[in-house]
Amino acid sequence: MTKPTSSQPIVSGTGAINTRKSLSEILFFIRGLAIFSVVVGHVIGDRTAGIRQLYLPDLWQLRDLHDFIYSFHIPIFFILSGAAFILFSSSTSSFFSFAKNRANRLLIPLLCWAPLHSLLWYFEAGRPLSWRESFTAIFSPNLIFWLWQLFLVSIVSYLALRILPTSIYFALSILLFGLSFWLKDSLADFFYFNWFYVSGILIGWRINHRTTLPLVRFSPLWLLAAAGLIFVGMVAIYFYTPVAYPNITRAINGAIGFLGMYCIAIASYLITAHRSQNRLYYLLVSIRRFILHLGKLSMTIYVMHRFFSTAARAVLMGWNITEPSIQLAFGILIATLGPLAVDALLRPRSRLYLYTIGEASN
């Protein structure tokens, strides 16, 4: 695998995007949008969690928004991880070094937070949690179970790309992706999400061998319009794909959702790259910086937001406030800002905290 050195331009000739730092920010921006969608989806929840459990009968608006978000957010994280693997991992790192890095970044947060999430779930359900259930929660499907899947996918891809010819590995990934639609167990999840990681690898290679980033020469307004059309298409796909085949919806919306977020990321970069003195410019810069901050702290938000959203819901219920719009807005606000506040408090003071979010090795 060929990867750029720290001084090698990724993109040249644009005047705005010409360094690895710029490309890293674009990926962090997409990650910020994706983690915010995760927060919104989990604040809404299903019939046993989130604010949806408060309403009988179920509110179709909340149900459809929740299910629509679930049709794209997880695949986008796998695509981002695959692209980052190609663009920013050292091509000379040993398997032990790579596996240690992945374990620090993914498995340690999983081991630290999965039992706590299970405790919260059982607390909400009103039943006790046994020690065995607390332990098995680390390997069972739950809110942060995808860290385990991402670890496995990244390790397998690292090995496969060094053992198999690239074309064979990609063909095999497509074959296993198709096979996943016929399986029902955790192996199906691995085959399914492995393809999104491999798609990210393909995107990373494509970017790595270009002299300009894809779409960077388009007008920001055209890019935002394209993102809007993609969003409309995703909504149509969600509503018109048979409910019995959610993985088909997720496969399509995950791919084009990444493209839509990429368009927004490039547009935001181009808009804010040209300095201006008007208030709108400073507003857009502030929004972009906030989304970048969300992306850089995505692990913190991912492992903590459910605790804050649960607390926010409980506070409003204590005040007898059940209006769905207030529950949703307040839940999103607290679930987003709460983890950021914890990070600001603990990051400069606690190395243990850094371990729990996979950053102690940095």
Q: Are 201 and 154 in contact, with CB atoms under 8 Å apart? A: no
Least confident range from 10-24, 44-58, 212-226, 300-314: namely 10-24
- As a whole number, mean pLDDT of residues 43-70 equals 92
CA distance 130 to 172: 41
Q: What's the CA angle centered on 75, arms 1 and 97, to 5 degrees?
A: 40
Give the tens place of pLDDT for each residue, 70-91. Answer: 999 999 999 999 999 988 886 6
Nearest Cα to Cα of residue 305 among 87, 123, 37: 37
Distances (CA, A) of 50 to 42, 207, 311, 326, 339: 6, 39, 11, 13, 17
Longest dimension (CA), the chain: 61
The torsion defined by the Cα of 313, 315, 319 and 324, in degrees rounded to 10, comes to -20
pLDDT for 206: 84
261 half-sphere exposure, CB direction, 13 A CA radius = 29
pLDDT for 244: 72
CA distance 158 to 308: 36
Give the tens place of pLDDT for each residue, 167-213. Answer: 999 999 999 999 998 887 778 889 999 999 999 999 988 887 766 67
pLDDT for 109: 93
Distances (CA, A) of 234 to 60, 62, 63, 78, 259: 18, 17, 16, 18, 11
Could you check whether the bond before residue 57 is cis, i.e. omega within 30 degrees of 0? yes
Neighbouring residues of 98: CB distance < 8 A, sequence distance ≥ 6: 89, 155, 158
CA distance 122 to 302: 19
- What confidence tier does 318 reach under pLDDT thresholds 50, 70, 90? very high
Residue by residue, DSSP assigns 156-224 as: HHHHHHHHS-HHHHHHHHHHHHHHHTT--SHHHHHHHHHHHHHHHHHHHHHHHT-SS-TTTTS-HHHHH
Q: What percent of the chain has pLDDT over 70?
A: 86
Sign of the dihedral defined by the CA atoms of residues 12, 18, 19, 21, in that order: negative
Q: Does 130 or 7 have the greater pLDDT score?
A: 130
Q: Does 63 or 182 have the greater pLDDT score?
A: 63
pLDDT for 322: 94
CA distance 204 to 85: 8
Burial grade of 130 (CB within 10 A; 0-12, 13-18, 19 or more): exposed
- What confidence tier does 93 reach under pLDDT thresholds 50, 70, 90? confident
Q: How far is CA 224 from the centre of its chain?
A: 21
**The residue count for the chain:** 362
CA distance 122 to 10: 48
- As a whole number, mean pLDDT of residues 313-321 equals 95
Give the tens place of pLDDT for each residue, 135-157. Answer: 665 555 566 778 989 999 999 99
pLDDT for 5: 39
Q: Does 21 or 5 have the greater pLDDT score?
A: 21
Q: Whose structure tokens read 């949806």?
A: 52
Q: Are 142 and 114 in contact, with CB atoms under 8 Å apart? A: yes
CA distance 29 to 40: 17
- What's the alpha-carbon Rg for the chain, to the nearest Å? 21
pLDDT for 138: 56
pLDDT for 144: 74
* Token representation of residue 225: 């319009």
pLDDT for 246: 87
Amino acid at 266: I
pLDDT for 17: 52
pLDDT for 133: 62
- What confidence tier does 277 reach under pLDDT thresholds 50, 70, 90? confident
Give the tens place of pLDDT for each residue, 9-48. Answer: 344 444 445 567 788 899 999 999 999 999 999 999 988 7
Taking 50 as the threshold, does the pLDDT of residue 4 lie above it? no
Q: Does 315 or 49 have the greater pLDDT score?
A: 315
CA distance 362 to 360: 5
Mean per-residue pLDDT of the chain: 87
pLDDT for 79: 97
